[in-house]
Amino acid sequence: MALIGAALTGCSNSLTDSDEKQAEEAPASSAAQEDEKESTPASGEASTSQNEDIVLSNGMIEVGNPESVEVVVNKQRKLPEGYTPPDLTVPDVPFSFEEDHPKKQLRQEAADALEELFERSDQEGMDLVAASGYRSYERQEAIYERNVEVYGKEETDTFSASPGTSEHQTGLAMDVTSAEMAFKLTQAFGDTPEGEWLADHAYEYGFIIRYPEGDNNITGYKYEPWHLRYVGKEAAAEVHEQQVTLEEFFGYEPVGEAE
């Protein structure tokens, strides 16, 4: 599968590109769409290290298991200060841009799984490309602040993670898209053959659609059919079978409505 030319939309390294979280094109409700609290795990089995979560003075939770593939990061649960995931690597899959960039990276286990997923999707006639994976705290900070300038904080918080709370910083998340979408990240991707295929098969490779449709009151973010999160095959299969969010699976409280 060949790389997509760098001249395509979203290819530059600048912060004005459309590949950077979470619906960075524009809020999902815009015209662009048309083209922590600790609690006892319920449905899923949280890892023992989650008992080491730290309650901060501002009420946020600092996760105690940032390197676990089952780590839950959201508006209530943040990564430790200065956290950089181990074993970052570039998966051998087609991207929507050619140049070297940290956003091509995933942790090794997730990268291996993504390669298997892409190989299967290609065999079944899908045309997936990867768009944005790992993001450092500093890059997420710049993206979030830019979005606040453009959309205001209230709207930004429905689609863009504040620094330290982005799944992309874990190295376990990858945004994907397709040529049919002009390599953009919009909710319409969910209605494409590629989006439907991912919804049906991503779990077989250890990925879930992290922000499902209609669950923004639980996850805190609007529907993102392009956002794949690696949690391992066992957990992904259970999440898919139960049709729940990661918050529900591990028994964490809902984050709150994203209008």
Q: Using an 8 Å Cβ cutoff, are 249 and 238 in contact?
A: yes
pLDDT in tens, 111-135: 999 999 999 999 999 999 999 999 9
Residue 53 above 70 pLDDT? yes
What is the average pLDDT value for the chain, to the nearest integer?
85
Residue 224 is among the residues annotated as catalytic for this protein: yes
- Give the domain ranges of the chain: 31-250
pLDDT in tens, 55-86: 999 999 999 999 999 999 999 999 999 999 99
Q: Which of 62, 167, 224, 248 is catalytic?
A: 224
- Position 256 confidence tier, pLDDT thresholds 50, 70, 90: confident
Nearest to 175 by CA among 233, 97, 240, 256: 97
- Position 52 confidence tier, pLDDT thresholds 50, 70, 90: confident
Two tokens at 131?
């768009």
pLDDT in tens, 4-31: 333 333 333 334 344 444 444 444 433 2
Query: Based on C-alpha coordinates, what's the Rg of the chain?
Result: 17
Q: What is the pTM of this model?
A: 0.83
Q: Between 3.50.30.40, 3.30.70.100, 3.30.1380.10, 1.10.1740.10, what CATH number should domain 31-250 receive?
A: 3.30.1380.10
